[in-house]
Amino acid sequence: MPAPLTSLAALVSYDDASRRFVGALKYRNDRSSLSWFVDGLVLSYPLSTGPFAGTLTWAPTTEVRRRQRGFDQARLIATRVGRRLGIRPRRLLRRLPGPQQTGRTLSERLVGPSFEVLSRGSGSVVVVDDVSTTGATLIAAARVLQNAGFSEVHGLVIARTPENRRLGPADRRSERA
């Protein structure tokens, strides 16, 4: 588990098949698989361990990316997950300007993005994102959320790169598609 995350749950492994579906959502606003993703995420830990008593939020994309795409894929996923759980996600983070993660080298990706906390809190929080490859985005989010008072930060993603596999050049090229 990448510290300081308490847990990280993923619906599927990030491979050629899942990359195609996640990429269609993220880059082409193709929501045909979104209901399936959300159904699976709702059944994923920590959401399936009983009534959800924590806070639900998302790891936002940059304002530039949101404007280009017309939506924030992580917010879209978190909103749909929240609807299924009967809770409203809270916007707790703002992503500060900086280079995008997609297309960067592994060492550059490990630095991760920077976030600003918009609201303090306590207890547990689940941070939703689309993909975790290095974990850097969720780690950066977890650090600032813990500094803002949250005691546990759980990551919840559609797809995750297996821990024993590092991204290679082919992976970085296909993510840009």
Number of folded domains in the chain? Answer: 1
- Answer yes or no: is 18 within a domain: yes
Cis peptide before 46 (omega within 30 of 0): yes
pLDDT at 164: 39
- What is the C-alpha to C-alpha distance for residues 19 and 37, in angstroms, rounded to an integer? 13
Give SS3 for 155. Answer: strand
CB neighbours of residue 21 within 10 Å: 18
Is 136 within a domain?
yes
Instruction: Report if residue 68 sits inside a domain.
Output: yes
Ranges under pLDDT 50 in the chain: 164-177
pLDDT of residue 26: 83
Q: Give pLDDT, residue 34.
A: 87
CATH number, domain at 49? 3.40.50
Give residue 96's domain range.
Answer: 7-176
**How many Cβ atoms sit within 10 Å of the Cβ of residue 38?**
23
Reported as a single tens digit per residue, the pLDDT across 90-125 is 999 999 987 676 666 667 767 778 999 999 999 999
Q: What is the pLDDT of residue 97?
A: 84
Identify the pLDDT of residue 98: 75
Is position 2 within any domain? no
Q: What is the pLDDT of residue 125?
A: 94
3-state secondary structure of 58: strand
User: pTM (2 decimals)?
Assistant: 0.82
In a domain, 1, yes or no: no
Burial of residue 33 (number of CB atoms within 10 Å: 0-12, 13-18, 19+) = middle
